Amino acid sequence: MNVIETTAELRRILAPVRSQQHIAFVPTMGCLHEGHLSLMRKARRLADIVIVSIYVNPMQFGPNEDFDAYPRTFEADAALCEKEGVDIIFHPHNLYPADGLRISLKVDELDNCLCGAARPGHFDGVVTVVNMLFNIVQPDIAIFGEKDWQQLSIIRCMGDDLQMNIEIIGEPTYREADGLAMSSRNRYLSPDERNLAPRLHEVLQYMRDAFEQGESSAAALIRQGRAKLADAAIEPEYLEIRDANSLQSVTTIETPCRILIAAKIGSARLIDNIPLDLPEHAMETV
């Protein structure tokens, strides 16, 4: 496994293999867990060369967010990548010009809701860095976790709108045995908070059960979900049902949708989502 720190070096190594080998790319901010490893395994199955980037992107953190505190665990991350058969880790020190970017990408509308509403500018930072990374790596496919559903949807739109020739693949959320979605931020949870955190997934499942038993009104499902959260003394930042592709809010579930939640448990802001598929759509296991 090669660890490469500069764009020039990565380009030099990839130039001779690009035309013959299929390249899969897994962008990350490090602090790798089983969820990331499942993305790498998928990449390994689909391509000849697997490249993982590890870069904590300052542009996607707001002024009061955890950029400085975000865990940097490069040695452990590199050992995990090696074990998963990753070919190259791209670990740049800084991707931004010293005096700042003169040109960046801006997400339109898709970031007015859900996490984007609470984190202004976050998705502009995500698409700007992912676009940079795509330009550097030029992969055939790129793999993202479904836990960040809004991020995945926005990156898919970026690929379509900007005519990128990269297949964007979503991988189902990887969960702890009690249902908690794996996240680098789970390490901020105290033991009590860790016990509480799986309630988020339980509430999503409870809402999906109600949908499968015939409730198709989004407002009614959200009311039931909020009541369950209140029982656990959890005040969500949002609990919403949206069309899975357009992210538009819905009143009745008539298209494949997602139930999405964000809530602070202690100091950790956790997110999760699950699909609401209509009977004719294949049910996804989460």
User: Considering 22, 33, 36, 93, which one is annotated as catalytic?
Assistant: 36
Cα angle: 24, vertex 168, 73; to 5 degrees: 60
Least distance from ligand PAF to the Cβ atom of residue 29, Å: 4
Could you say whether residue 148 binds ligand PAF (CB under 6 A)?
yes
Helix, strand, coil percent content, the chain, rounded in steps of 5: 35, 20, 40
Q: Classify residue 85 as left (phi > 0), alpha (psi -120 to 50) or beta.
A: left
Least distance from ligand PAF to the Cβ atom of residue 56, Å: 8
Spatial distance between the Cα atoms of 202 and 189, rounded to a whole number of angstroms: 18
- In contact, 132 and 158? CB cutoff 8 Å: no
Spatial distance between the Cα atoms of 137 and 135, rounded to a whole number of angstroms: 6
The CA-based dihedral angle spanning residues 226, 227, 231, 233, taken in that order and rounded to the nearest 10 degrees: 30
Specify the residue, 170 or 225, whose C-beta has the smaller distance to ligand PAF: 170
Specify the residue, 234 or 271, whose C-beta has the smaller distance to ligand PAF: 271
Known active-site residue 36: yes
Choose which of 43, 95, 130, 239 interacts with ligand PAF (CB under 6 A): 130
Could you say whether residue 116 binds ligand PAF (CB under 6 A)?
no
Specify the residue, 28 or 38, whose C-beta has the smaller distance to ligand PAF: 28
DSSP state of 109: S
Phi and psi, residue 111, nearest 5°? -105, 15
Could you say whether residue 153 binds ligand PAF (CB under 6 A)?
no
Could you say whether residue 28 binds ligand PAF (CB under 6 A)?
yes
Specify the residue, 151 or 273, whose C-beta has the smaller distance to ligand PAF: 151
Residues 6+ apart with CB under 8 A from 258: 149, 241, 242, 243, 244, 273, 274, 275, 276
Least distance from ligand PAF to the Cβ atom of residue 122, Å: 9
Nearest C-alpha neighbor of 167 from the set 7, 12, 20, 22: 22
Could you say whether residue 129 binds ligand PAF (CB under 6 A)?
yes
Specify the residue, 7 or 217, whose C-beta has the smaller distance to ligand PAF: 7
Least distance from ligand PAF to the Cβ atom of residue 42, Å: 15
Choose which of 24, 49, 57, 253 interacts with ligand PAF (CB under 6 A): 57
Active site residues: 36
**What does the binding site for ligand PAF look like in residue numbers (CB under 6 A)?**
27-29, 57, 60, 126, 129-130, 148, 151
